[in-house]
Every structure is written in structure tokens, then in C-alpha cells.
Chain A
């Protein structure tokens, strides 16, 4: 496959996954800010949402204050933000159009349909209810996209590139949520989790749609170190860092087998998988959760770069 085609497929999935992650972050933030101040605390959750999306600099250039209106507009609709939900879906559609013949009809219908429906949401003067409908639409589009890819694509390099884009973005999104919220997950002996913490932890789970999964896995009340365990090391959890790297290693290995040669991206991804496999939460907390997440994000970017260098340029 031409690297240009591989590049488009990779970024197509990455953009769809990014739109989905943004929708979940916005949803969780809306819920958290709807709570009374006493429960939600004094931190500016809208500021956190921008940080989680990783576009603080661009946001500050465009707006003075982080509040519901500005953040919603910036993360969801702003044409000035290259990584807003609208731009993600539009870029995804142009990626898809460039490789239309490498996609199945079902996948194209999903993306093209989402792009058309996007025009119904102008982003100005939306009520909260309308905005909730918009977020539901974005999540549905990403579910339909993954579903159509899973059900219809040939398992060859095109499929593997699409999964790699999706997994790199997914790992990045989970890590950035942890990066912004790590301070509420640190085990503090003297502090008993009050309502503030409870809502913060639940909000983290919601932003990766894992609130029910959490209770299935741990069968107890929400505890910060278990939230961290679920999002970092638990392979059952499809958004956890370990699960992303388990699958990335597998798809990179499939690619290596298919092309008959392997390189840096395989080695780096396997090294990361090994590192996650051989870690325990105690060790991660001891050596610093924030440092761990920081180095993960840097390494994940590096692996994205290695994939690009090896296959996409």
C-alpha cells in the first residue's frame, strides 16, 4: 500500500477517535460543573477540560476566560482550533475521501453521513439539551465507524493502520486525562475521600466511559488507586494504556509479518508493553504517577513518530 494511503487511513481513525474522546471529556465536564460548588470544588473544570484536550496555548490565544461557553465552542466547533470536534470530523472525511477506494462502502457511508449531519449543528446559541444531542451524535458516529471497520474491512495492512491510528490516539487521550487529574488520584493517607473527590474520580471514569466497568472489575466503591489501576494497567479495560499497547504490539507485529520486515516502531511498542506488563501500581505511585504519565505521553508520541517514519512518509 502506498504510504500516502496508509497515512490517510491512520489519520482517519485517529481523528474519529479524537472527536470521540473530546465528546466524552466535554460530557464529563458538563456533568461535573452541574454539581453545586460545595461538591464540585473550586477548581476550574473548564480549564481542566482544555488541558486534557492538550490545547491550552491555542485556547489562550483565542479566549480570555475558560467557561462553559468558550470551552464548548473552542473544543467542539471552533474553526480556529485545528483539533476541535468539527475539524476532526471534517479532516476525517477528507482523509476518507482521499482513500475512498481503500475503505468499504459501509465505512464511507458512516463518515460521509456524519459529515452531512454535522452541518445541522452550528454551535451558536445551543441549549444544553441541544449540545447533549450533539455529543451523542459524535459518539454514535465513532461507534458506527469502528463497528463498520470491524465488521467489513479485510484484515490486511489497511485495517492494521486504521487500528494503529485509533490506538495511538486512545492511549494519548487516556494518558492526558490522567495527566490533568493525577493529583486527585494520589493516595493521601490522612485525607478521607470527601464528596469532592468522589465526584472527581467518577468524572474520570465517565470521561473514559468506564464507570460501570469499574464496578464490574473491582466490586467496591470508587477508590483513586483502583481508578488509576483500571486506566493504566488493566488489560480488560479497552481504554487502558496496557490494553492499547497490547493491541498496538499485535497489529504492528501483523504489519511486520505482512511486509516481511520490522523496525523501530515494533521495538518501541514492545518495549512499552513490557514496561507496562512489568509494572505494579505500587511501584508507579512510589516512583511518581505524574512522572510516569509524563514519560508515557512523550514515549507514545515518539512511537507515533516512529510509525509515521516507518510507514506513513
Chain B
């Protein structure tokens, strides 16, 4: 499937900022289920986009802007050709052994409630794959999708206590639970082509990957209750949402800021597979 992504992040500062620095994990890599046809990052100010790979191998860009700047736009426009691999991620760049992804972070710490939830969910399943599927289904059923109560820095434990959240919270609860069960898991940020045909979205998508000894990395999307399909465009991975955050930055001066994100994910040109 050919997926066209247009993603714009706009910062508006109350007072013009003196300078800003941004770190972008906005560029997908190729792997067996995904081929990046074209991809471009545009920034509204004159600056040099410095490309590098972070520790996890994510394609990362950084830039600094010398102000005064009252509005900063970071746009991404690209096309990706994807194939359904039933969630199995092969051919991805792996810089670390899977056991590294057992490491907990503040955002993905399993508190007593998540630990109990994970253990209870794991009971019925025979093997690790079954446990991960059960986890995905139960998180999908237990939580209510609600963008209001949680924010970017909400931890898995907080969101789980509320039983509410967005895809980021679903993914972090999954990651925390899987790690509690001894399965290496990581957070994935990316884009999702919605089945209901809604092209304009409020944000990018997030899901999780778990490492199983016989299959390797398998992508689970608890917010949709499915393993990743050809509708998922995988961009960056990390230990938690902070590590895979599409845009991070800081500014000097500027007073308050308002952030607006628009994401368009659409199917570009229909093709049949033969």
C-alpha cells in the first residue's frame, strides 16, 4: 500500500523567541515491510538540518534557529510503500541486543496495578506470543480512548490508573506490562492510515514492539487492538515515548508557546499486488 504522509508541527510564541533548538525523529527507515519512496523535512526558518543516527539507529535531524522568531513550522511530506507482514518486523536496523529493551524508564515503569494486570492477563496464555496477544486485547478492552486527561508526560502508571488515554498511553502500558513479564519491548512512533477513511488526524500514531525468541520483533498496536499492518508507517523506536518522540526542542525567550499539530495520512494511488 502506498501511503502519503503530511505532518506539520507549528510553534507559535507569545513573544518572539531569541532562539530555538529542535531534535526531529521524523524520518522513517526502510525495512522488509516498508520502502520510503520520498521523504522531505521543511523548516520555516533558514537553518541547517544536521542529520545523524541516534543510539537506536533512528534517523534524526537537529537544527537551531536564531531569532527573533514568532512562529516555527516543521513540515514533513513523504510517501512510503508498505506491505503487510502480519506485524513481524524483519530487516530493521538493530543496534542493541533485545535484552536492552527490558530496561525500564520512568514513563514505562510497571507499578503494582500494571504488574497485577500483566500477570493476570498472562495466566491464560500458553506461550510468549499468546501472552502478548492477550495483553494487546485486554489493554484495548480495558482502556477508553480519550485525549483529554493525559498529556505528553503522562506515565504508563498514571494513564492506567485513569483507564483512559491516547495511543501513546496504550503503547506505554503495553511496554511496561511486557517488560514486567520478562519480554523485551519498545515504543514505536509512526503514522497510521485509518480504516474509516479519516485522513486528517490530530497526531501521529504510536504502538509497541515485543521481541519473541522465535519471531523476532513483532509489532502490537493496542490502541487499535491489532498487530501492525500495511497501514502502519514505522518511523522511530525508543525505550518510551520520550525516546521516540517525533519532535523535541527547547527555546530561549518567547514567553508562552502554543503548539498545533496537523497530520494527514492518505492512500496515494491505488495499486494491486501480484
Given contacts A253-B81, A274-B91, A278-B92, contact A260 B272 (CB under 8 A): yes
Given contacts A260-B272, A274-B30, contact A253 B37 (CB under 8 A): yes
Across the interface, name the chain B residue whose C-beta is closest to A260: B271
Given contacts A277-B29, A277-B30, contact A262 B274 (CB under 8 A): yes
Across the interface, name the chain A residue whose C-beta is closest to B93: A278
A100 at the interface (CB under 8 A from B): no
- Mark contacts of B246-274 with chain A using CB atoms, 8 A cut-off: 1 yes-contact digit, 0 otherwise: 00000000000000000000000111111
Instruction: Find B35's partner among A257, A263, A270 (CB 8 Å cutoff).
Output: A270
Per DSSP, chain B at the interface is loop
A62 at the interface (CB under 8 A from B): no
* Nearest CB of A to B95, in Å: 10
* Nearest CB of A to B36, in Å: 10
- List of A residues within 8 angstroms of B271 by Cβ: 256-257, 260-262
Given contacts A253-B37, A262-B274, A277-B30, contact A267 B83 (CB under 8 A): yes
Pairwise interchain contact A261-B272, C-beta atoms closer than 8 A: yes
Per DSSP, chain A at the interface is helix
Complexed CA–CA distance, A163 and B270 (Å): 25
Residues A267-282 near B (CB distance < 8 A): 267, 270-271, 273-275, 277-278
- List of A residues within 8 angstroms of B83 by Cβ: 267
* Nearest CB of A to B46, in Å: 26
Complexed CA–CA distance, A267 and B271 (Å): 14
Pairwise interchain contact A271-B29, C-beta atoms closer than 8 A: no
Pairwise interchain contact A262-B273, C-beta atoms closer than 8 A: yes
- List of B residues within 8 angstroms of A261 by Cβ: 271-274
- List of B residues within 8 angstroms of A278 by Cβ: 29-31, 57, 91-93
- List of B residues within 8 angstroms of A256 by Cβ: 271
A72 at the interface (CB under 8 A from B): no
A87 at the interface (CB under 8 A from B): no
A8 at the interface (CB under 8 A from B): no
B42 at the interface (CB under 8 A from A): no
A203 at the interface (CB under 8 A from B): no
- List of A residues within 8 angstroms of B81 by Cβ: 253, 262, 266, 270
* Nearest CB of B to A278, in Å: 4
Pairwise interchain contact A270-B30, C-beta atoms closer than 8 A: yes
A202 at the interface (CB under 8 A from B): no
Interface size class of A (residues with CB under 8 A): 10 to 19
Most central of B29, B57, B81, B270 by chain A CB within 10 Å: B81
Across the interface, name the chain B residue whose C-beta is closest to A269: B35
Pairwise interchain contact A273-B30, C-beta atoms closer than 8 A: yes
Given contacts A270-B30, A270-B35, contact A263 B91 (CB under 8 A): no
B45 at the interface (CB under 8 A from A): no
- List of A residues within 8 angstroms of B202 by Cβ: none
Instruction: Find B31's partner among A249, A263, A266, A274 (CB 8 Å cutoff).
Output: A274
Complexed CA–CA distance, A271 and B92 (Å): 10
- List of A residues within 8 angstroms of B270 by Cβ: 260
Across the interface, name the chain B residue whose C-beta is closest to A254: B37
Complexed CA–CA distance, A245 and B271 (Å): 22
- Mark contacts of A259-302 with chain B using CB atoms, 8 A cut-off: 1 yes-contact digit, 0 otherwise: 01111001100110111011000000000000000000000000
B146 at the interface (CB under 8 A from A): no
- List of A residues within 8 angstroms of B14 by Cβ: none
B32 at the interface (CB under 8 A from A): yes
* Nearest CB of A to B245, in Å: 23
Pairwise interchain contact A263-B32, C-beta atoms closer than 8 A: no
Pairwise interchain contact A263-B30, C-beta atoms closer than 8 A: no
Given contacts A253-B81, A278-B91, A278-B92, contact A271 B32 (CB under 8 A): yes
- List of A residues within 8 angstroms of B91 by Cβ: 271, 274-275, 278
Pairwise interchain contact B35-A249, C-beta atoms closer than 8 A: yes
* Nearest CB of A to B237, in Å: 13
- Mark contacts of B22-34 with chain A using CB atoms, 8 A cut-off: 1 yes-contact digit, 0 otherwise: 0000000111100
- Mark contacts of B209-234 with chain A using CB atoms, 8 A cut-off: 1 yes-contact digit, 0 otherwise: 00000000000000000000000000
Q: List 26 A-B contacts (CB under 8 A).
A: A249-B35, A253-B37, A253-B81, A257-B269, A257-B271, A260-B271, A261-B273, A261-B274, A262-B271, A262-B273, A262-B274, A263-B274, A266-B35, A267-B83, A270-B30, A271-B32, A271-B91, A273-B30, A273-B35, A274-B31, A274-B32, A275-B91, A277-B29, A277-B93, A278-B29, A278-B93
**Those 10 A-B pairs whose CB atoms lie nearest each other, nearest first:** A274-B30, A278-B93, A270-B35, A274-B91, A263-B274, A261-B272, A274-B31, A261-B274, A261-B271, A271-B32
Name A residues whose Cβ lies closer than 8 Å to a Cβ of B. 249, 253, 256-257, 260-263, 266-267, 270-271, 273-275, 277-278
